A and B are shown apart, each in its own frame.
Chain A
Amino acid sequence: MKPLLSIRKLTKRFGPGCEQCVDESRWGEIDANACPNCGTVWALRGLDLDLFPGEIVGIVGESGAGKTTLVDLLSLAAVPDYGAAHLANWRGGLHSIYSASDQEKRHLSNVHISTVYQDASRGLLMGISSGGNVVERLLASGERCIGDMRARAQYLLDYMELQGLMDVRTGRLSAGMKQRVQIAKALVHRPSVILFDEPTTGLDVSVQARTLDLIRKAQREHGFAALLVTHDWNVLRLLATRALVLKAGRVIERGTVEQLIEDPQAPYSQLLIHSSTT
């Protein structure tokens, strides 16, 4: 099976870097993400990952581990210092998505790689109706028939259990509803990859369960592959099949979700698992 998204040596640093911290072979020794010598912050160091069609891979780690940087890089909101990401269905997977022009990047993040943010205001226009938010993606790719676009948006919003809310201003919806509008928006072009950045953090438990359930359903029926950034093991267990544990910008452990939950090996992974309430 060929990977859909193939990420190689993805690295992002904030600062000039010095001889000491640029040396890849010594990354294992560095425990913090800031270089003790020059102070350069290494948000992500040499991340490798193959994402296969139809699977959900979890990205676990504390704040500052590099999760959000990874989402920013893959959603093309930022560029890496080095490393590449190849998407199988864009230019035959021959070119890294970071070699795309700005216009191509807009197309990529509109059609191929969607993102669902923890903060809905990053992904949605609050002054526009929820239907308008979904339709925006269709408008951006040149569709000009209101009737068709509204039918598509209506279907997706109903699918996300948002019946009758199509023409309501997004800013007036509850937090859980906004997340579901984001998911509907993410689905509209049937993207091959969706990035979920803490999609249910901050929602109350019942709303969280419902949202997760809708993500599961959408994943089963639409068949996208996804990266799920979370620090909640229950969310991970429910949605993902395998996962990476990030610390200080490095992958310190990877395996099936079952392995990571049953048998975490790195000290940091054990700390994460046993800090979780269940």
Chain B
Amino acid sequence: MTPATSLPYAYLDEFMKACVRKAVLKAVCIPGYQVPYVSEEVPIARGFGSGGLQITLSLIGADDVVKVFDEGDDQTVNAVNLRRFIVDVTSNATTNDPAEATLIQSRHRIPEEGLRLGQILVLQSAFPDALRFFETNEAVARRMHAEADYSKLWLRLYESIVDNHEIMIGGRYPVLINGRYVLDPTHVPRWDLPKLHDCSGIVLFGAGREKRIYAIPPHSRVEPLGFTDHPFRVERFEGAACHLCGSSHSFLTQFWRDDGSPAWVCSDSNWCEKQRAALVQEANA
């Protein structure tokens, strides 16, 4: 692809960027509230991260360092293509190391080490409304949010406990933010939810297809829903460890080797690399 020199910086024109930024500001001001916005066309299909991309393109400045990853991996097709597009339209610097990045776009994961002050994490959201499971009527769902009427959401957790003796919700685990709105944190694993609590960075959610932006401002109180006698729990990987770096305290994904035997690997590829580098350093020392 040749650099798109005739396009404005960061693809979107300044008016569109202003529209998205206003929506982002409102979302940060009302944590958890889904702000409707004009979802502009970008050269990726809706449902492939168009909402996240619009936020990234609207917020990016000349000195921002960008990281794009997908399900924890920096080298998936989606991550590579999105990163390449951002570079083409901005010529900004990119990195795989979340510590160096100022703007991180992600799908399904939050970097294993969490966020620091000054960082913005943009998450691509498919379904912005946590109530969509049982309330398909948008007007009714908005009213339920307005009145903080979340009993049906709690009922879903109750039924899950009755059926399985624990809450069996993998992704889209509902979280309560600052005691007010219940928010859909996209498909990030339960493992990542504690990182959202009192987080130093800003977390923005963009749903391009559904035309909604919502946010978790820094140092918000984020509580995954849970019962007093069945509290929220993150995933457990008993006895499992990454077959590359040996870590047993990161979010692991399972895969099958060529001989059919199962193995585990860190979901966050950059974190795994750092672990290995540290091990090598230790060995050398």
Residues of A within 8 A of B (CB): 102-103, 106, 125, 128-129, 131-132, 135-137, 139-140, 144-147, 149, 167
- Contact status B229-A145, CB under 8 Å: yes
B116-165 interface (Cβ within 8 A of A):
143, 147-149, 151-152, 154-155, 158-159, 161-163
In the bound assembly, the distance between CA atoms of A146 and B226 in angstroms comes to 10
Q: How many Cβ-Cβ contacts under 8 Å join chain A to chain B?
A: 45
Q: Smallest CB–CB gap between B162 and chain A, Å?
A: 5
In the bound assembly, the distance between CA atoms of A149 and B147 in angstroms comes to 23
B237 located at the interface, meaning its Cβ lies under 8 Å from any Cβ of chain A in the complex: no
Per DSSP, chain B at the interface is helix
B228 located at the interface, meaning its Cβ lies under 8 Å from any Cβ of chain A in the complex: yes
B233 located at the interface, meaning its Cβ lies under 8 Å from any Cβ of chain A in the complex: no
- Contact status A102-B227, CB under 8 Å: no
- Contact status A139-B158, CB under 8 Å: yes
Knowing A103-B147, A144-B228, say if A139 contacts B161 (CB, 8 Å).
no
Q: What residue of chain A has the Cβ atom nearest to residue B228's Cβ? A: A145
In the bound assembly, the distance between CA atoms of A5 and B91 in angstroms comes to 72
Q: What B residues does A139 contact at CB under 8 A?
A: 151, 154-155, 158
- Contact status A147-B149, CB under 8 Å: no
- Contact status A129-B227, CB under 8 Å: no
B219 located at the interface, meaning its Cβ lies under 8 Å from any Cβ of chain A in the complex: no
- Contact status B151-A146, CB under 8 Å: no
* 19 A-B contact pairs sorted by A residue (CB < 8 Å): A103-B147, A106-B147, A125-B155, A128-B155, A131-B162, A132-B158, A136-B151, A137-B151, A139-B154, A139-B155, A139-B158, A140-B151, A144-B227, A145-B227, A146-B158, A146-B161, A146-B227, A149-B158, A167-B162
Q: What B residues does A106 contact at CB under 8 A?
A: 147, 149
Q: Smallest CB–CB gap between A235 and chain B, Å?
A: 32
A128 partner, pick from B148, B159, B230, beta carbons under 8 A: B159
Per DSSP, chain A at the interface is helix
Q: Smallest CB–CB gap between A80 and chain B, Å?
A: 21
Q: What A residues does B154 contact at CB under 8 A?
A: 139, 144
B224-267 interface (Cβ within 8 A of A):
227-230
Q: What B residues does A137 contact at CB under 8 A?
A: 151
- Contact status A136-B155, CB under 8 Å: yes
Q: Smallest CB–CB gap between B133 and chain A, Å?
A: 11
- The interface centre, meaning the residue of A131, A145, A146, A167 with most chain B CB atoms within 10 A of its CB, is A146
Bitwise interface map of B from 177 to 200 toward A, beta carbon under 8 Å scored 1, else 0? 000000000000000000000000
Q: What A residues does B162 contact at CB under 8 A?
A: 129, 131-132, 167
Q: Smallest CB–CB gap between A28 and chain B, Å?
A: 41
Shortest Cβ-Cβ A-B pairs, 6 listed: A140-B151, A139-B154, A139-B151, A145-B228, A146-B227, A147-B229
Q: Smallest CB–CB gap between A178 and chain B, Å?
A: 17
Q: What B residues does A128 contact at CB under 8 A?
A: 155, 159
In the bound assembly, the distance between CA atoms of A131 and B158 in angstroms comes to 10
Q: Smallest CB–CB gap between B224 and chain A, Å?
A: 13
Q: What A residues does B148 contact at CB under 8 A?
A: 103
Knowing A132-B159, A135-B158, say if A146 contacts B229 (CB, 8 Å).
yes
- Contact status A102-B147, CB under 8 Å: yes
Q: Smallest CB–CB gap between A244 and chain B, Å?
A: 34
- The interface centre, meaning the residue of A102, A131, A135, A144 with most chain B CB atoms within 10 A of its CB, is A144
In the bound assembly, the distance between CA atoms of A132 and B152 in angstroms comes to 10
Q: What A residues does B158 contact at CB under 8 A?
A: 132, 135, 139, 146, 149
Q: What A residues does B230 contact at CB under 8 A?
A: 146
